Structure 1
Amino acid sequence: MRGWGAAMAICAALLPAPGAAAASRTLTPMNFGDLAGWAQDDHAAAFRTFAASCRAIRDGVPPSRAALPPTPALVRACEDALGLGTPDGDAARAFFERSFQPFLVGDGMLTGYYEPEIDGSRTPIGRFNTPLLARPDDLVTIPDGETLPGVPPGLGGARKAAGGGFEPYPDRAAIEDGALAGRGLELVYVEPVDAFFVHIQGSSRVRLPDGSALRLVFDGRNGRKFSGIGRLLVERGLMTKSGASMAAIRAWLAANPREGRALMRENASYIFFRIDDSLDEKDGPRGAENVPLTPRRSIAVDRGLWSYGLPFWLDSRFPDGETLRRLMIAQDTGSAILGAARADYFAGTGDAPGSVAGGMKQQTRFVVLLPRGDAAPER
């Protein structure tokens, strides 16, 4: 087990170079009394999720995708939190108010994601004809801000070229056409549209014909640019912006299988997975911080701007109009999650959370809780 200092060193070693956006971030100090709904939230639930991040920081668990490293003040807040055990709501609220100060980040966009539960087979049969692949051993992940000889800037994945140097890793279309065939990478076979949405979500529970299930978690990507097919459908006049929910997109793909396959291949990004046997049935999938996500308490943030483990107060609404005012913990990231006032809300596992996540595209007020020792925002 690694100590607190080792945890910070590991995170620093994995960290992408901070971008200009981080240096220009402007935050406005607030008081907890300014947060509408703060007193009514379930602070004990938020504390349990925060403590999971703190244990990862304390134990030096390497993130699967590096973010800004935890500051010394966040490390101290985590030490204090883990010394409290399992506080009740009042004690948890007192901890957050004692250890953090809220800062207004601004108004931005909140989307949602979830862990799909789908059917599949260990072997290709019938409609289960599309494999989810394990990470290839020749995939080289390029850290943010870096390049390799022979690879254009901006790509995050490569492999060694036959003549020396490197070359971009194959895109989605090439992989689907067999670029990695014959290497034994197939973990499980699922329906084509299910496979595509598992790539978007980054994890899945796959139910097998014998009643057992596999938990698949993110294990790398080919580094190609992500293109949202909802945006493409809107740009081409095939769907309205307000109507481009996940359910509507899936329905369009089912009704237009040939055009849908071509459209999905325009998203050059391709995700690789691994089977995670360490997760309990009650656990969410592992986020980029490498801890199981908590439904309705974990969010994905821009890893170039924020550290994992930071609490955020969200003031928003769900797609059905219900108020969403809740303390969330940054435990994940995503290629499309860019900007300070931008996050992805983890709704949970299965179809019902999927319906919530698929309809979320909410204007939201973002407030970050910075540890007291860090409460001096850059201007």
Structure 2
Amino acid sequence: MTTSSTGSNNDLTPAERERYSRHLLLPEVGTDGQKRLRAASVLCVGCGGLGSPLLLYLAAAGVGRIGIVDGDVVELSNLQRQVIHGEGWLGRSKAQSAASRIADLNSGCRVDVHEQMLSIENALDLIAPYDLVCDGTDNFPTRFLVNDACVLLGKPLIYGSVQRFVGQVSVFNRTADSPNYRDLLTEPPPPGEVPSCAEAGVMGVMPGLIGLLQASEAIKLITDIGLPLDGRLLVVDALTMRFRELTLKVDPARQPIENLIDYRQFCRPELLAMDSISVTELNALLEAEADDVVLIDVRNPSEAEVASIAGSHLIPMSTIENGEAVDQVRSLAQGKRLYVHCKLGGRSARAVQMLGSHGIEAINVDGGIDAWAQLIDAEMARY
């Protein structure tokens, strides 16, 4: 990979030679490799579970310019895995928190802070100035967006993802002949088929492990050493501590990427219009103890153990999808007003649609239990 040349011909200072002495001792890296790292620019999209180790080790390695794209704030539930942040940053900008930690770790790193989420409006402008991109995101719309923008701009992309105890790493778009994310996933999975970390959980160290592997691949690309994961997908199972490698090839039938699209619609087609209710309205009904109100919770049992709304009936989404719980719901809804909630409102909306196909009328709770925790019960745990 060719990095930007700013400062690349300048010799290392005595302080740099001391700081990076362990790199300089490696014949594969040496002074030339350290200069490449100093001259390189890397954009990390997301500074959460994957971005935390990525950013820390890129900064520690001496990458000269690091960009951070994240418009979120630090929440208590982040700290189980997002180790770049601390309790003192709760409720404050993740991007600023990460930049502050990098400045403390290596003041020689230039950090560009972009306190915004990547979008089709800003992606090309944000990515263009950097040599390579690291994907630290946790959702399909942004992964496709990052990939397509990198393809259009000819930027290598270091991919990583985690779920529960399993993670994946690969290098996309290293050359014009390299695979990209659309060769791994030609189209997004149906909405709800792959639960998010917020729904399924994740072992705290798992993003750390995958983020470190991403950092390793980034350093290898910058210094032009070793064999990158180009055309290879590394799959890590932490429960069995097994590493598997799968070959990834360019799909000759894949449509060329010519422009950015509406990735949210691409990954999450709009559901049919349906009746909905706010958590404030639902709370008023429950406080009135109306006899004709039934509330079902379509989250997983493990989620319900974290927090639940009193009086709700736990009927996991999977049991509605496979038809197992349809008769149970029908019985509960007999002569009643049926309301459905999940964590954020997405799964419950699909449940309402599915129940409707069985002739069961239901109303979706906007914002789910997360909105309930924010607006109704401040003592309720959020996850």
Answer whether TM exceeds 0.5 for this pair: no
Relative contact order (alpha carbons < 8 A, sep ≥ 6): 1 or 2 greater? 1
> TM-score, normalising length from structure 1?
0.22
Pick the structure with more strand per residue: 1
Pick the structure with more helix per residue: 2
